[in-house]
Amino acid sequence: MTKRTLSRLALVAATSMLFISPAMAETLRLGTVVSAPHPWIDAAEAFKAEVAEATDGRINVQIFPGGQLGNDQTMVDEIRIGTTDMIIGGVMNISPYTPEFEIFSLNYLFEDMDKFQAATSPESPVFDYFDNAMQTSGVGLKLLSLTGGGTRNLSTNTGPVTQPSDMQGVKMRVTGSRLDADMWQSVGALTTSLPWTEIYTGLQTGVVGAFESTISGYYSSRLYEVAPYHAKTEHQVMMSHISISENRFNRFSEEDQAIILKAAQNAGEFGTEKGVEYDAEFIQEFEELGVTVTEVDKQAFIDAVVPLHDEFAEERGLTELLETIRNL
């Protein structure tokens, strides 16, 4: 073999090392129940881009939006058995395994967005608490980031809501959290648990006549088509999580673990920011979509549910955590 041929082979080999073939790349399957536009989708895309750049394409994040991998509970179960790797969703989807997360079902827990961002910071005692709670729960997930998702409001197809009394006897969809049900039963709603992916049909068929969600979730899932009344209760900032299979995470090198963790934390901050942005943008479009937006007597809603805060915290042994959140 000539020197010229050897040189050509060496050049080809060196050049090929600069590229990672799809077969060589490791893939992380990330699922979420929402569709774009939504801050969870933006967070997922940001995470994917940062991981790809930091690993030179060695780790590829494959995003499955719109419940393609199932509802929240299904995805958590799939992560536990290893058929899915990651999830971005509301923290209530893991509260059956880590019940401490139910504290975020308390309406009017955070006074403003600054308090919420202080709680979701990777350096906050709140994040440390839930990172440890998830690890010790045995659910098989590792918490990478706490993030937002926008402001949660109340929507109905039964008529406009301005006072808590307007919810008396209304059939309302809630998450699987008992505390979530307690919050809305305190204003007279008749609650029933439904997965997010079944809300549209539930409203069409009369199974429920009301639900609460982020503004972006209401918009992106076109729920205004079946629930054209939107009340600005602003009862929660959506607490969400970016989590990965614990077993999957542990198989990565320490270097790649650090990359994944940092990318998720940055994505979490970005998702919170996009939630604020979407709230302001989408609600301006509701009138053109035929949605009736109402202001509410927010203090009346606060007075109905805030007394439940201390009662819940004492019952669950979370009084210290509640005080930590209040004092952020």
Strand 292-294, strand 229-237: pairing: parallel
225 located within any domain: yes
Same domain for 133 and 54: yes
pLDDT of residue 156: 98
4 located within any domain: no
At residue 181's C-alpha, the angle toward residues 66 and 118, to 5°, is 70
The domain total for the chain is 2
163 located within any domain: yes
pLDDT of residue 25: 82
8 located within any domain: no
Structure tokens at 7: 């040189």
Same domain for 300 and 254: no
6 located within any domain: no
176 touches 299 (CB < 8 A): no
pLDDT of residue 11: 39
Q: Profile the chain (328 residues) by mean pLDDT over runs of 10 residues.
A: 41 40 79 94 98 98 96 92 96 91 94 94 97 96 96 97 98 90 95 94 98 94 97 96 98 98 98 96 95 97 94 94 95
140 located within any domain: yes
Identify which of 134, 39, 137 has the alpha carbon closest to the alpha carbon of residue 88: 39
Same domain for 128 and 107: yes
Task: Provide the sign of the torsion angle of the four alpha carbons 315, 316, 317, 319, taken in this order.
Answer: negative
pLDDT of residue 6: 36
Q: What is the CATH number of the domain that holds 229?
A: 3.40.190.170
Same domain for 129 and 35: yes
Same domain for 142 and 52: yes
pLDDT of residue 164: 97
Its pTM stands at 0.86
44 touches 31 (CB < 8 A): no
Domain that holds residue 88: 22-150+238-280
325 touches 310 (CB < 8 A): no
